[in-house]
Amino acid sequence: MNDQTDKLIQAGADLIVDSNKILVFTGAGMSTESGIPDFRSPGGVWDKYDPSDFLFQKIISDEKAREKYWQMSTEFYEPMKEALPSRGHLAIKELEVLGKVLAVVTQNIDSLHHRAGSSPERIIELHGTAFSVSCLKCGKKYDRDEIQGRLRSGVKIPYCDACSGILKPDTVSFGQPMPEKAMAEAFRYAEECDLCLVLGSSLVVYPAAYVPSHALDHGAKLAIINRDPTPLDPKAHLLIHDSIGKALGAIMEEVKRSLFS
């Protein structure tokens, strides 16, 4: 590492050591470091599909749209299922073990925070999860692998076996309302935290991206680790444009050295 990088790592460690209620906010950059393609990046899902085909109203009203939706969803789910938590995911778990984490608010649908060992009660999935499926009519829930089995057997569009209603993964589609409880919890934690740690989010997908701004407005410090610039970069107390795993991993080594040496 060069002197400038060393200074940033030390500054990040100092911020964490001095904080007791950290709100971790994660985006697609966390997932890409686990090998999951980003929807919006070149070569991502939206290079292969037109997002307008998957508007929520279209999914619930057009059978052909549902068939295309399940095709897209399946292509995305299979590599997601095989993905493993990155160094960044494990570092967040380390932060929790140190008693520093108030909550993990994520835009991701891959359940990697769960698999990394973060406490489920601390994880708020603003855009839902790809690992369960619900009937939009009666609410019956299914494990995603059960539905994948139907699709692999040749079923093009799975329907609820209880009421024949439309099934949909528990993710938030374009035009679908955000989960009210999750959003309310995220904003409540934003008001309580003393540090908002943004990891791998472009901060351009709203309303989720309002959460770090809300934390700033309520007196929290802001640290951003993301490869590309974000709209909140000018307001950040710490800004690192680098790999999350590399930067946060190094920061956590300094944190542990500071706390336990």
For residues 160 and 242, membership in a common domain is answered with no
1 pLDDT exceeds 60?
A: no
For residues 159 and 254, membership in a common domain is answered with no
Q: Which of 138, 171, 204 is the last residue of a domain?
A: 171
- Chain-centroid distance, C-alpha 161: 31
Catalytic residue from among 89, 113, 127, 214: 127
For residues 64 and 144, membership in a common domain is answered with yes
Cis peptide before 207 (omega within 30 of 0): yes
> How high is the pLDDT of residue 98?
97
For residues 93 and 183, membership in a common domain is answered with yes
The count of structural domains within the chain is: 2
For residues 156 and 53, membership in a common domain is answered with yes
For residues 251 and 139, membership in a common domain is answered with no
180: its two tokens: 């009210």
Summarize the confidence of residues 230-237 as an average pLDDT: 97
For residues 67 and 196, membership in a common domain is answered with no
Q: What is the DSSP letter of 177?
A: P
Q: In angstroms, rounded to a whole number, what is the distance separating the alpha carbons of residues 226 and 202?
A: 7
Between 174 and 47, the more confident residue is: 174
What b/e sequence results for 82-117 when a residue is b if at least 16 CB atoms lie within 10 Å of its CB, and e otherwise? ebebbbbbbbbbbbbebebbbbbbbbbbbbbbbebe
Residue 54's domain is classified under what CATH number?
A: 3.30.1600.10
> How high is the pLDDT of residue 47?
67
17 CB burial (10 A radius; 0-12, 13-18, 19+): middle
Residue 16's domain is classified under what CATH number?
A: 3.40.50.1220
> How high is the pLDDT of residue 41?
60
For residues 241 and 199, membership in a common domain is answered with yes
Mean pLDDT is lowest, of 30-39, 178-187, 204-213, 239-248, for 30-39
Summarize the confidence of residues 23-27 as an average pLDDT: 97
Q: How do residues 51-103 score in pLDDT, each as one tens digit?
A: 788 899 999 999 999 999 999 888 888 889 999 999 999 999 999 999 999 99
Q: Which of 115, 149, 171 is the last residue of a domain?
A: 171
Asked whether 102 and 23 are in contact (CB, 8 A), the reply is: yes
2 pLDDT exceeds 90?
A: no
Summarize the confidence of residues 238-261 as an average pLDDT: 95
> How high is the pLDDT of residue 39?
63
44 pLDDT exceeds 70?
A: no
Q: Which of 171, 204, 238 is the last residue of a domain?
A: 171
Which residue range is the domain that position 70 belongs to? 37-82+128-171
Q: Provide the mean pLDDT of the chain.
A: 93
> How high is the pLDDT of residue 40?
59
For residues 103 and 4, membership in a common domain is answered with yes
Q: How do residues 199-231 score in pLDDT, each as one tens digit?
A: 999 999 899 999 999 999 999 999 999 999 999
Between 136 and 48, the more confident residue is: 136
For residues 18 and 31, membership in a common domain is answered with yes
Asked whether 185 and 211 are in contact (CB, 8 A), the reply is: no
For residues 205 and 254, membership in a common domain is answered with yes
Based on the residue annotation, tell me whether 127 is a catalytic residue of this protein. yes
Q: Where does the pLDDT of residue 20 fall: very low under 50, low under 70, confident under 90, or very high at 90 and above? A: very high
